[in-house]
Amino acid sequence: MSLKLLWFVSSQSNLGFLHHGNRSLPCPNLLFQHRAGKGKNQRWKPHFCSLRTHVPGSEGLRRSKVKVTVMSTMAATSSAGEIAMSSEEKVYNVVLKQAALVNKQLRSPRVDVVVPGDLSLLNEAYDRCGEICAEYAKTFYLGTLLMTPERRRAIWAIYVWCRRTDELVDGPNAPHITPTALDRWEARLEDLFNGRPFDMLDAALANTVNKFPVNIQPFKDMIEGMRMDLRKSRYKNFDELYLYCYYVAGTVGLMSVPVMGIAPESLASTESVYNAALALGIANQLTNILRDVGEDAQRGRIYLPQDELAQEGLSDEDIFSGKVTDKWRNFMKKQIKRARMLFHEAEKGVKELNASSRWPVSASLMLYKQILDEIEANDYNNFTKRAYVSKAKKLIALPVAYVRSLVAPSTIRSSHRN
């Protein structure tokens, strides 16, 4: 897993939102109809309805009758007839809390707390985080150099914590990691947020979460994703996979946006920026999954929706055999389409970030999208061929991403920002 910024969409395979003016909200418990057109164009046949809706914590939205276009369902019904909360709705609750925290800090700045150790030791800790970021995420590291010193140091600290967490289950000591070890790591995280860092790398993050409105929940959720990796190697549908993608990647966006910042001139709501950040993370993780099918299969893991495999006439045995067939190509085309739809949603939010943060995020998005192109170029053989973006293509993408980062933020108010 690598540090990426994230944006947000429905946990179902087809994107669905309740549109209220310029604002997109989760629209649970509703149905859609889809009509395939000829060629590449697909047309949605919308259903219109009225309902009373309210999202707790969302500014500027009253209980009222709203005319909506329903494009997807986002809720499941239990055998008892009760509405079960989807993975997307669970994640959205975390988004609301993070947005509320940001708005609260904008009204009442936090008081500085001194992290144990003198300033020179703290600077050394941040420098070490920068060295680790430069070693393992070269392109992203170059992008962080365009940020203000305070922002880039904070991003380095977050990246390093995420990498250390990921290494617990994917690193050389992974075979020896137990749930108890993850419990200890979470306890250490809580100490860190309470100003009691264990080592110098923890000290850098402790200082970061004190300076910026970063909530502990996304960090805890990432650890939960590591727990999931210890006990789960199959995902029966995309709702389950969506939650996993949030845990291991979507969380990074919620950690990072408070540091990267929203452009002062942006009229987009805080929630919409976090929602956009979430979608990029989900898209990045899905791209990782599609790129690494063969490698994961060697470890006995299949990070693909089991029901969608079955719909194409595929099974675990087909994955382990590693043969590219027409059934596999059809399956992969649909998975890639889903990832691209997520990237499309993500692109809408990049321009709302602080000017110094847009370029690295835009570059990251462009480069990850190109991995999907490379999978297609390999004739969907992600069993024995690893899709990667060449250095030449990376060099071409960077100036393009920079130009895109110059696009001004939204001048249309999507909701009230406090």
Position 140 confidence tier, pLDDT thresholds 50, 70, 90: confident
Residue 173's pLDDT is 85
User: Phi/psi of residue 64, each to 5°?
Assistant: -165, 165
Given a cut of 80, whether residue 78 has pLDDT beyond it is no
pLDDT of residue 104: 62
pLDDT reading at 38 higher than 90: no
Summarize pLDDT for 228-266 with one digit per residue, the tens. 999 999 999 999 999 999 999 999 989 999 999 999 898
Q: What is the pLDDT averaged over residues 15-44?
A: 37
CB contact at 8 A, 319 and 304:
yes
Mean pLDDT score, 163-170: 93
pLDDT for the residue numbered 397: 85
Q: What is the pLDDT of residue 111?
A: 45
pLDDT at 57 over 50: no
Check pLDDT > 70 for residue 163.
yes
The residue type of 51 is L
Q: What is the rounded distance in angstroms from the CA atom of residue 16 to the CA atom of residue 230?
A: 32
CATH superfamily ID and name for 95-103+116-404: Farnesyl Diphosphate Synthase (1.10.600.10)
**Model pLDDT, residue 91:** 77
Is the pLDDT confidence value at 225 over 60?
Answer: yes
Digit-coded pLDDT (tens) for 351-397? 899 988 888 888 889 999 999 999 999 999 999 999 999 889 888 88
* Tokens 């940020």 sit on residue: 147
With CA atoms as reference, report the closest residue to 189 among 206, 170, 177, 166.
206
Specify whether the CB–CB gap between 23 and 78 falls below 8 A: no
Exposed e or buried b per residue across 233-254, where buried means at least 16 C-beta atoms within 10 angstroms of its C-beta: eebebbbbbbbbbbbbbbbbbb
| Separation of alpha carbons 175 and 63, rounded Å | 52
Assess whether pLDDT exceeds 50 at residue 285: yes
Structure tokens belonging to residue 296: 């994961």
**Residue of 195, 222, 194, 188 lying closest to 122 (CA atoms):** 195
For the cut 60, the answer to whether the pLDDT of residue 53 exceeds it is no
Q: Is the dihedral of CA 298, 299, 302, 303 positive or negative?
A: negative
pLDDT of residue 25: 38
Task: Residue 253: name the closest of 137, 94, 55 by CA.
Answer: 94
pLDDT at 192 over 50: yes
Question: Residue 40 is which amino acid?
Answer: K
Residue 193: name the closest of 164, 179, 221, 213 by CA.
Answer: 213
Mean pLDDT of 104-110: 52
- Give the bridge partners for 77, in sequence order: 83
Distance (Å, rounded) from C-alpha 68 to C-alpha 50? 7
**How far apart are alpha carbons 67 and 367 in whole angstroms?**
38
For the CA atoms of 303, 308, 313, 318, the dihedral, rounded to the nearest 10 degrees, stands at: 0
Name the nearest CA neighbour of 147 among 334, 378, 355.
Answer: 355
Predicted local distance difference test score (pLDDT) of residue 35: 36
Question: Average model confidence (pLDDT) for the chain?
Answer: 78
Which residue(s) pair with 56 in the sheet? none
Locus of tokens 């599609």: 290
pTM: 0.74
**Which structure tokens are listed for 118?**
């003198």
The residues spanned by each domain of the chain are 95-103+116-404
